Amino acid sequence: MQALGDFKLPQFFNYPPYFTLQPVRDTRDKQIQLWKELILDYCRTQKIFVIGLEEEFPLFANPAIERSLSHEAREAFLSALVSEAECLNVLVLLKTGRAEWLDKGHKKCLLLWHRIQDWADIILNFVRENGLEDGVTTIEEMRSGIESRGTELHGIDRTILMRALKLLENKGKLAIFKGTSTDDEGVKFSV
């Protein structure tokens, strides 16, 4: 089985037709589902939060079989993740999806391998595990501090972290306060 570093790639990654958008609807639907799962799994294990459509991305090419995804295929797979987010958003009335475009030109895609509510739950577990129930910490400490090392919060994309914190703030679990710079923005928990 082929791997990218320590990430094991699925069998279909070595199958050339999966690097070309399939014309038959059922086959394309299966292809899109496999790619969505692969993209999310890879990004989760490698802690990748943003994919640039125009940028090099390891999953979008397989040198072993001399294949790479076309721009159209890349956009189709990422758009499928975004569409899933939009459909779920309408049904649940919360941002519960898997991805969203960060720009109107659809050049950068934010991956939500955990939904915002799940990130909020991860934050609450982090707070409890580190005895911060009535404490204060900076947002940067949550993203890159000693306590966050080895947790899913370490290295989290700031946009995702802020959305999860705002969700918790709306539920009365914390208060976000501004500092003089983004490095000293803080959070006071009341869990």
Chain segment 117-126, per-residue pLDDT in tens: 999 999 999 9
E-assigned strand segments in 5-87: 7-8, 50-52, 61-62, 67-68
Identify the pLDDT of residue 172: 94
- Per residue in 158-183, pLDDT (tens digit) is 999 999 999 999 999 999 998 777 66
Residue 131 in this model has a pLDDT that exceeds 70:
yes
Q: pLDDT averaged over the chain?
A: 89
Residue 51 in this model has a pLDDT that exceeds 90:
yes
- Per residue in 64-102, pLDDT (tens digit) is 999 999 999 999 999 999 986 544 444 443 444 689 999
Entry pTM: 0.82
Identify the pLDDT of residue 1: 60
Nearest-angstrom CA–CA distance, 116 and 132: 21
Q: How far is CA 64 from the centre of its chain?
A: 27
Question: CA angle, 44 as apex, 84 and 81 as ends, to 5°?
Answer: 15
Which domains are assigned to the chain?
3-111 (1.10.10.570), 116-189 (1.10.10.10)
Identify the pLDDT of residue 142: 93
Closest CA to 35 of 5, 72, 66: 72
Identify the pLDDT of residue 3: 82
- Three-state secondary structure of 129-185: HCCCCCCEEEHHHHHHCHHHCCCCCCCCCHHHHHHHHHHHHHCCCEEEECCCCHHHC
Identify the pLDDT of residue 182: 63
Report DSSP state, residue 121.
Answer: H
- Per residue in 17-40, pLDDT (tens digit) is 999 999 999 999 999 999 999 999
